[in-house]
Amino acid sequence: MPERVPVDFFAKCLYPSHLKSYNGALYFIGKRGDIERNAYDSDVYRLQDGKAVQLTSSRDAQDFTPTERGIVFASARKEKDKEDIKRGAPLTVYQLLPYDGGEARETLRVPRKVLDIEWLAEGKALFRATLDHRLNALLDENGGDMDKALAARKEQDDAATVIDELPFWFNGQGLLGGKRSALYLWEGGTAALLTDPWANAGKPTLNAARTKALFTQQVYKDKAPRYSALMEVDLATKTVRSVHGAPEGHFVSVGYDPDGLIYYASIKPDAPHGENTNPRLTRINADGAHETLDQTPDGAYNHRNTVGSDSKLGNIDSGLVFARGKAAFLNTVVNDCHICAYDIGKGEFSQVTARPGMVVEFIPWKDGYAAIAMRGDGLPDIYEVTPDGEENRLSGLNDELLSGYKISTPEPLTFTNKEGVAIHGWVIPPDEWPGGGKAPAILDIHGGPKTAYGSVFFHETQYWSGRGYAVMYCNPTGGDGRGDEFADLRGKYGKVDYDDIMGFVDAVLEKYPAIDPERLGVTGGSYGGFMTNWIIGHTDRFKGAATQRSIASWLSFSNISDIGHTFGADQMVGAPWTNPEEWWRASPIKYAPAFKTPTLVLHSDEDYRCPMAEALQLYYALKLMDTPTRLVLFKGENHELSRSGKPKNRVRRLNEITDWMDRFVRG
């Protein structure tokens, strides 16, 4: 008999990412949790006869490139290299693994912390790496001695932290302290800096001839500009130019078509729905004119996957994929993520895939595409996608694992909100309804807000189902996949979205009379944490709440979050000192006197998206209101705890939430 999904189920799965092809074969990075080591094993695999064949055993391969000589991947093998990297030395070591097997051997040593790399030819590569101005200054002061420079930096850090730029930290990166991401050309054993030393460069995209590359950049010493510029580097002359006529903005993807014409999908500064406006795809024609290809008034294409799941790791943004006369891209469509494409010859957009779920990443392959996708109740697998959208599953990476567990299929439920808009959601029933009684339920709220829930596998919801809870979740106004107007929550936080969520709960209780309305819990992270905080200040219908990586006050968030100075002003329609009433109205902490719901507060001490001050002030208010509460701060974790945090901390997080619900909701 199948078992219930356990709390550490996520660590048993193999997660594919970084899908690539060479000579018709498919390769990928496979990640798997290691509870004992409290880390994720990450190695290169080849797909062979539907099976994942592990090629490396370093457990730290984060990316790779198939080349004529073999597979090149970054991995520090020598103990001294590992120690130097741990101390913060800028070093990346590449290994070469022959296709016919054998031991990997060192093939390149780059004295930089490489972020991503494109191999151009033998001995030549374009890469992006961290340029650390502070460390470079210490190197100069210490005559180029790296050991002395690292020791001097540690001594300084142990004494004080100096902040002199904005943003001063970034989630997943820590304190920036003069660090930038720069482009380099590796040639003849040396790295030539291509970009301005104070530029933050985005990941480059090469043309078909691999002679030029597009990238975005922001140049600053004091305060980062709000928008990016589109740049091009000529790799033969090593010259960098601003792409003529490309307006600054938020660039979602850029690329060249086979004829060398430049395409970009961007959100302009004057976008009518703010930063959450969907980008428009634009082409620079041969005459230099910028032609907007996506002219849909409702913003039909978001050019990314925003469907959530806690059961995928390490996936990359596919960007624009040019093949067979089309520019293809990922796109969230209502509750699913599909491959969509622009036919260059016909000038038409179309949706390629059709099955519910999500495509996570994809590449050109054979006469169509190869994709990593989540379908039905399954985990990520590799699929062949034909030009007309037919799919053939090529792998069953976790089939044997899944067969041993009982999986509850999400049941769709749609209701019409007060504005006459259909709001989509799902209910996962408990794996067994209680005989003669009613089941407790947990409302789970997604982050973003411009993301979406779908029908895909979620570990935490399956775990709660196995524990006897019904789980309900929906996509309220403010979410993705429904166009610009639906996603625009500016000035509406806590209004229409709150009404949508409460209306969905009412619809669930009406359809599922076996759910006990007196035993409801609520949880969510990021925007879902904000909304959990909002809910406990506006209703007592929930018996327990667990708020994760949340916002308690827009005012404090604005001035300490890594994105606060731009995102906050955009969403609140004006700076806090020009529109303070709206900032305070939309802050959950304003409604602290109404906090009566027992609330668990979960946060990470290195969360710089919603910094720790948000959790502290919320916990403080709950205590002042004599409301049962508990604050759990996870050390060394950031905003991604629930999705890619250390395995032991992910287990602890899920146990904390479940124990809280058992105590106050289940009763």
Could you report the per-residue pLDDT of 601-622, keeping only the tens digit for each? 999 999 999 999 999 999 999 9
Residue 256: pLDDT over 80: yes
Helix (H, G, I), strand (E, B) or coil at 656: helix
Mean pLDDT (the chain) is 97
Instruction: Find the mean pLDDT for residues 492-513.
Output: 98
pLDDT of 111 reads 96
Could you report the per-residue pLDDT of 62-110, keeping only the tens digit for each? 999 999 999 999 999 999 999 999 999 999 999 999 998 788 999 999 9
Instruction: Find the mean pLDDT for residues 462-488.
Output: 98
Distance CA 66, CA 476 (A): 43
Instruction: Find the mean pLDDT for residues 402-419.
Output: 97
pLDDT of 121 reads 83
Distance CA 321, CA 98 (A): 28
Residue 122: pLDDT band with limits 50, 70, 90 = confident
Instruction: Find the mean pLDDT for residues 402-412.
Output: 97
pLDDT of 569 reads 93
Domain 408-666, CATH number (from 3.30.565.10, 2.30.290.10, 3.40.50.300, 3.40.50.1820): 3.40.50.1820
Residue 273: pLDDT over 90: yes
Could you report the per-residue pLDDT of 186-209, keeping only the tens digit for each? 999 999 999 999 999 999 999 999
pLDDT of 286 reads 96
Q: Which of 41-50, 212-221, 393-402, 427-436 is predicted least confidently?
A: 427-436
Number of C-beta neighbours around residue 652 at 10 A: 17
pTM, whole model, 2 decimals? 0.97
pLDDT of 439 reads 97
Enter the tokens of residue 591: 């409604």
Residue 596: pLDDT over 90: yes
Residue 543: pLDDT over 80: yes
Helix (H, G, I), strand (E, B) or coil at 264: strand
Q: With contact defined as beta carbons under 8 Å apart, do 505 and 443 qualify?
A: yes
Distance CA 544, CA 662 (A): 9
Region for 60 from its dihedrals, namely left if φ exceeds 0, alpha if ψ lies in -120 to 50, beta otherwise: alpha
What would the 3-class secondary structure string for 142-195 be?
CCCCHHHHHHHHHHHHHHCCCCCCECCEECCCEECCCEEEEEEEEECCEEEECC
Distance CA 347, CA 328 (A): 13
Could you report the per-residue pLDDT of 133-151, keeping only the tens digit for each? 999 999 999 999 999 999 9
